[in-house]
Structure 1
Amino acid sequence: MVDDVLRAMAEKIAAGAPEGWRRAELHAFAGDDGWSGYRGVTFESDGRSRRRSSVSGEGSRRRSPRSVQQDPESAGDGQASEHALSDASDDGINMHQELRELHELVGATSDHLTIELVVEAKGRYEAVLSEALERDDDGYGFLYVLSPDTLPAEPGTFQREPGDLRPTGDPREAVELIGAYLRERDRVLGRDTYAPPPALPSAQRSWLEGRLPCRLPDDLRALYALVDGDGGQGLLDQHPWFGLETLENHSRPENRWWSAGRRWRHHLMSPLITSVGPPQAVRRLSDHPRWIPFATTTLGDFLAVDMAPGPGGRPGQVIRMGLHYDDGPVYVADSVTALLRRHVAALRAGAFRVEEGELLIDLGEQPYEESRSLRVAGADARSLRGLHPGIERLSVTNAPWVDFASARGAPALLQVTVDNCPGADLAPLRDTPLELLDLAMDGIDLGPLAGHTTLRMLRLRTERSVDLTPLTSCQRLYGLDLSQAAIADISVLGELKNLLYLRLRRVQWEELWERAGHPAGLAAAGLADEPRRERAWWWSADRAYHAREPSLRTAAKWANDLAGQTADVRFHTGRFTRPRR
């Protein structure tokens, strides 16, 4: 029955194909809740043809439309690209029903079944269905997740406990401030604006609070003894304030849906978790059970009281977290008391506006919102001009004279990218809290990084052979991308006991398996795309390049070699009835 669905999809694609097409690709997924999505169908046509498909249907996960572009690796002698990239519109090829059927037919248990389908104009198709194999973000390589429940420990797990465990909030002041705030609202709006929901009975409050993962800060508890949230009015900077029952519901592990999406794909797209605010006030985590949401937006974000602060924070501080903050939370105030104090001060200072009867309060910009990224090139890189203690991301490009000495001891430097900086001495980076490093250089000496205590992920791009031995002393190193590097001895990878993620090209994987076997402990692996290869015959100008690798067939074989008997890859081939033109 799976083949029946795939055949029907192939026939639908062929029926909607442009004249002169040779090959079509569909990259899609289907979820366990009936959700499905895809980027459209990409048609490859002869010569200069630049036709595009369109996709439609409810539930498609849309991306920014991609225009037809010339591929510099596949176009030569003035030839346009062979690839006509798909575009999204409201009519055309609709595959959502078929995608949902495939999810059900294969018995998928996750919310992401990858469906890759290649259709040839001569009447053949091949497809891969897998819950573990999916496309890289670049669309050409592949990611295989061997252990979806195993992710690298987040940086916040390594941070110390705060030096001061006393909350800064004041219960009595908080109660006075909520009254003052409501009176100020009435004054500026010229009417009685709010009838607060009455507080729950004491016994019910105690029962609900006893179900929380930790005790609420005293100032918030005092407010709940007075009122039960704001009834959805959005009193706190346009954030509706939860009643205590809703707060308890959102604190349960099974209901923290906003943190459920951080999987290997998301992690590799955004591996750096930070926090915005005073230095080390908030732990660098994507979520924590003792971050208790007490107010929300309509967009899936929350205000929360942080009862697990970082070394420089205090319990009960207010943070912003949720769906759009999976790369780290944002510090808001040192307590609920302080947040209310800012609301009252803003109203008294006239820092507000009223639009269609709605009060919009300007709470002011926070002083820590300065730029935390720095890009330098050429002469500016000699002294890393612009580097200051708050810089977290540093990119250095085209700088043969770069001197990293001024970065030594940089307290917040977490990510460094070095591109075309021959002869750069990396030794000063050993004395930084560096976690992510991307090196693209003619020659790379990893010796100065030996024993680095915080390095977590490394990407190398070089044509000269690199000795990986110094990495064996980097105990937190969990990720390597060596797909664009020449390696002196690839068997060294077998000595990296904490390695969870590895990305290589096919020939590198085969060499590794032959010399060191399959690395134990890998949770995810990447199969990188190969450089385009030109055909030998100059006269076949319209077909001057081999099909891009890895193909579906190559990826399926690699995944089976990688995972062995536990591999989750279904490979299908077949024929379909070609439409008459």
Structure 2
Amino acid sequence: MVEQAAQRVAEKIVASAPAGWTRVVMAAKAGRGGISLSGGYTVPGTSRRHPVPSVFAELGSLAEAVRKVRGWDPMTVEIVCRPSGEYELVAFADVITSLRGVGGGFQAVLDPSYRLPPSDSGQEESTAPPAGDPELAVARFHAYMERRAAILGRPEQLPPPASAAALDRAERRIGRPLPADLRALYLIADGDGIDYEHRYLLHDNGWLALEDLVAVHADLCEPVWYGWELGWNSVVFDADPPGTVRRAGGHPAWVPFATGEDGNYLAVDLAPAGNGRPGQVIRVGRDYDECPVYVADSVTSLLGRHLELLELGAYEKHDDHIELVEPEPRRGPERIVGEIPGEVPPGLQAVHVNDAASPVDLAPLTGAANLRLLHLNRCATTDLAPVRTLPVESLRVTLDGGDLTPLEGHRHLTSLELGSTTPIDIVALRTVPNLRGLDLSRAVVRDLTVLADLPDLRYLALTARQWTALLDEGKAPHTLAAARLTDDDASLVEALTWAARLGLDTGDALRTAGSLPL
């Protein structure tokens, strides 16, 4: 069955081949969760790109056949075809993933259970009391609804109140009590939706019924893990004002209570950072994974702001809908994309320098006391000294001379992507206590065996030549949870051999070959 499914994939690839082709390589990830593919035909004498055809249906059948005999879901598959009709297919469980088209090479997951520590793991917790006032919140809600009724010319119908027993059940299910002011509002109405239609009372957000609140909390209570290819050097940035909200992509103590119906939510924060208040309102969800947004110190204050906007006339009326007019909050951190200015804004958290004249002078960043990410793309610098005192967590840099001594003992740095134009010594990285992700594939490293001494390295990306040198010395870091072979021309067969040297059991890789009738 697998052989037949593989042949159908090969038939479609060969049937779609351009004139003059000599070889085609297709890499794919396929399973019940979806299919992604990349690859192309080799056509000598032309620079034109010849991508592989869309063989999603055929790959779906192949994935189903492999799942029945191996139990893999999803799987990584690579197929090579030639004009002679000969083809070879190799497949393996998705602990080895092709990154062709998304950076190149292959990724191997050595410890599927490991997750990187969250950015907020060392943050101070708030000891302040809640800012919300249930009696004032109720009074403001009634005043707000009366003002809306005056604008619309009629009162808006709301659902019946939630019972105290229903609130108790909801709190047990989310594992913590709701803020007193939000709980008081649910004793007025169980959200603002009737027959699946919201009144959008909370600045164009639909107020969730208790049952929906519990369900959304269950979906969003933990950060989404997007995999090592995106997660190894990711950063969660600080909210504004700084230190009010945990630097996290999700948290069990964030309880969404209103929806923008776009994957984003207003939530009450029951475990704020040091400068926050329990019960404060934040924005979380699809567009806020890298930076939750502070909205108000409480639901009480949020209602006060909504009432104020109505009284100021800062709204637009559209038939039976009122839209409050207020500046949209920043959806991400303050960042610079381009060249570094002579003066940087005090709230700067991310810098992406692209294609700048080299060497790039990093000295203007010395005053960027909140800088978390610094990426130099397709340009180089000679001096990392300005980074020494900055809280940079994700650093991507090419050194044209200079060295890594400014990074000695850097307690914030968690990921480093390093390139170099000359041989470089990485001994300084032994003293970086929280360095967990490292990409040296663009660097000329004097002694790769130093990597075995890094205290808690979890992700390592190297070229095939670098990996061979390291593994031949028996010095691969024993702490690795994931690794990457960066060579874009590496085959899955080569990746399986590499992963086996790292300790993965690749002996049950599925291989099949055949020849198509021409």
Task: State TM-score, norm by structure 1.
Answer: 0.81
Q: Secondary structure at the match of 1:84?
A: coil
What is the Cα deviation at residue 87 of structure 1? 7.7
How has the CA–CA distance of structure 1 residues 561 and 47 changed in structure 2, closer, same or farther, with 3 Å as cutoff?
Answer: same
Q: How does 1:190-229 map to 2 (within 5 A)?
A: 190-192=153-155, 194-229=156-191
AA aligned to 2:516 is T
Aligned to 2:117: 153
Q: Cα offset for 1:171? A: 0.9
1:179/1:416 CA distance change after superposition, 3 Å: same
- Give CA deviations for 1:529-561 in whole Å, capped at 9, x if unaligned: 26xxxxxxxxxxxxxxxxxx2122222221222
Q: Does 1:266 align with 2:223?
A: no
Letter in 2 for 1:317: Q
Contact 2:315 2:322 in 1 (8 A): yes
The share of aligned pairs that are identical, in percent, is 34
The answer to whether structure 1 residue 348 and structure 2 residue 321 are counterparts is no
SS at match of 2:184: helix
**Is structure 2 residue 32 aligned with structure 1 residue 15?**
no
Residues 479-505 of structure 1, C-alpha deviation per residue, up to 9 Å, x if partnerless? 110011111111110001200000001
Q: Indicate how the Cα distance of structure 1 residues 561 and 328 shifts in structure 2: closer, same or farther if over 3 A, else same.
A: same
In the alignment, what sits opposite 2:470?
Answer: 512
Conservation of the 8 A alpha-carbon contact between 1:391 and 1:412 = yes
Contact kept in structure 1, 2:138 and 2:184, CA below 8 Å:
yes
Aligned mates of 1:469, 1:577 — CA distance in 2: 54
The one-letter code matched in structure 2 to 1:388 is P
Could you say which residue in structure 1 is the equivalent of 2:486?
528
Letter in 1 for 2:286: L
Shift, 1:161, TM fit: 1.1
Counting only pairs closer than 5 Å after superposition, residues 354-369 of structure 1 correspond to structure 2 as 354-355=317-318, 357-366=320-329
One-letter amino acid matched to 2:189:
V
| Unpaired segments ≥5 residues, structure 2 | none
Cα distance per residue 1:32-65 (max 9 Å; x no partner): xx332234663333433xxxxxxxxxxxxxxxxx
Distance 2:60 2:471 in 1: 41
Counterpart CA distance in 2 for 1:353 and 1:187 is 14
SS of 1:464's equivalent?
coil
1:408 is aligned to: 366
Distance 1:394 1:286, change over 3 A: same
Matched, 1:390 2:353: no
**Equivalence for 2:204:** 238
**1:486 match:** 444
Query: For residues 373-424 of structure 1, what are the alpha-carbon distances to aligned partners after superposition, in whole Å with 9 as ceiling and x for unaligned?
Result: 22564xxx6xx513122111234532447252x4335321111234645532
SS of residue matched to 2:423: strand
Structure 1 residues 324, 109: closer, same or farther in 2, change over 3 A?
A: farther
Partner of 1:144: 108
Size of the aligned set, in residue pairs, is 509
Q: Distance in 1 between matches of 2:158 and 2:164?
A: 17
The answer to whether the 8 Å contact 2:222/2:252 transfers is no
Within the candidate set 383, 387, 390, 1:429 is matched to 387
Structure 2 residue matching 1:519: 3-state secondary structure: coil
Instruction: Give CA deviations for 1:71-103 in whole Å, capped at 9, x if unaligned.
Output: xxxxxxxxx24x313587xxx874353254146
Contact preservation (8 Å) 1:409, 1:431: no
Answer yes or no: is the 8 Å Cα contact 1:128–1:569 preserved in 2. Answer: no
| Secondary structure, aligned partner of 2:188 | coil
Separation (CA, whole Å) in 2 of partners of 1:333 and 1:279: 13
Q: Does 1:309 align with 2:272?
A: yes
Q: Aligned partners of 1:93, 1:470: CA distance in 2, in Å?
A: 48
Equivalent residue number for residue 33 of structure 2: 35
Cα distance between partner residues in 2 of 1:358 and 1:190: 12
AA of the residue aligned to 2:177: R
What's the secondary structure of 2:473's corresponding residue? helix
1:558 aligns with 2:498: yes
Partners of 1:97 and 1:429 lie apart in 2 by: 48
**Structure 1: gaps spanning 5 or more residues:** 49-79, 531-548
Contact 1:342 1:363 in 2 (8 A): no
The yes-or-no answer on 1:441 pairing with 2:399 is yes
Comparing 347-356 and 504-513, the one that deviates more: 347-356
Supply the distance in 2 between the matched residues of 1:523 and 1:142 (Cα, whole angstroms): 14
* Superposition pairs of residues 182-193 of structure 1, within 5 angstroms: 182-192=145-155
User: In the alignment, what sits opposite 2:131?
Assistant: 168
Instruction: Return the offset for 1:507.
Output: 1.2
Report SS of the residue matched to 2:420.
Answer: strand
For 1:283 and 1:443, how far apart are their aligned partners in 2?
A: 38
SS in 2 for 1:308: coil
Deviation of 1:134 after TM superposition, in Å, equals 1.3
Could you tell me which residue of structure 1 aligns to residue 5 of structure 2? 5
Change (3 A) 1:240 1:375: closer
TM-score, structure 2 as length reference: 0.90
**Which position in structure 2 is the counterpart of 1:72?**
none
Distance in 1, Cα, partners of 2:281 & 2:69: 45
How far 1:257 moved relative to its partner? Answer: 8.1
Compared with structure 1, are the counterparts of its residues 109 and 305 closer, same or farther at alpha carbon in structure 2 (3 Å cutoff)?
Answer: farther
Structure 1 residue 138, shift from structure 2 partner: 2.8
- Deviation larger for 294-303 or 413-422: 413-422
SS at match of 1:346: helix
SS of alignment partner, residue 148 of structure 2: helix
1:19 CA drift (Å):
3.3
Question: Alpha carbons of 1:153 and 1:552: their partners in 2 closer, same or farther (altered >3 Å)?
Answer: same
Q: Do 2:223 and 2:251's aligned partners in 1 also have CA atoms closer than 8 Å?
A: no
- Per-residue deviation, residues 414-451 of structure 1 (Å, max 9, x unmatched): 11234645532x22321111111112122241112101
Give the match's secondary structure for 1:302. strand
